[in-house]
Amino acid sequence: MVEIDDFFPCWGHRNGTFSSAFSRPRNNSVLWVLILEKAWAKVNGSYDLTVGGQTSDAISCLTGAPSEFMSTKDVDITKLWSFISDSINMSYLVTASSMEVSGLEIDAYSKNSNVSGHSYTILSAIDVSGIKVL
């Protein structure tokens, strides 16, 4: 059990508004992201110590559930698709992360709408006439 208070680190802006200093949920009324992030920061000792690492480590630590990590380097795409879709069908938490890149490689990530060094939640895996969509 991790006990946290209801104070969240924020940045103040010149126009008098505030935004979260770390996670930035698209919907400002969503608090669970900030609560989960704060609990993980407390487990690790500070927000700074939560940078990097595997999402599966955080999920396993905070939920007590087992987790599995699969690298996409040299993986069979059919095996990866089965792993993701089977996991979602069993109501498991599924995430994907992009590598931290810099320089010219950033352009390749930007064109695909990926953020370098970011984690994503996979909510569904759908096969539409042979086209696989996450």
The set of long-range contacts for 45-53, using a CB threshold of 8 Å and a minimum separation of 24, is 47/9, 47/21, 47/22
Q: How far is it, in rounded angstroms, from Cα 105 to Cα 79?
A: 27
pLDDT of res. 7 = 92
* pLDDT at residue number 101: 65
Residue 6 token pair? 């209801």
Give the pLDDT of residue 49.
86
The amino acid sitting at 6 is D
Judge whether 96 and 115 are in contact, CB under 8 Å: no
Strand-pairing partners, residue 119, are 97
**DSSP label at 103?**
T
Both structure tokens of 47: 């927000």
pLDDT of the residue at 89: 94
Report how far residue 48's alpha carbon sits from residue 79's, in angstroms, rounded to the nearest whole number: 35
Inter-residue contact 9 to 22 (CB < 8 Å): yes
pLDDT at 105: 61
Assign 131 to helix, strand or coil: strand
Within the chain, which residues score under 70 in pLDDT? 100-116
Is the whole-model pTM more than 0.75?
no
Q: What is the pLDDT of residue 104?
A: 56
How confident is the model at residue 51, as a pLDDT?
Answer: 77
pLDDT, position 86: 94
pLDDT of residue 116: 67
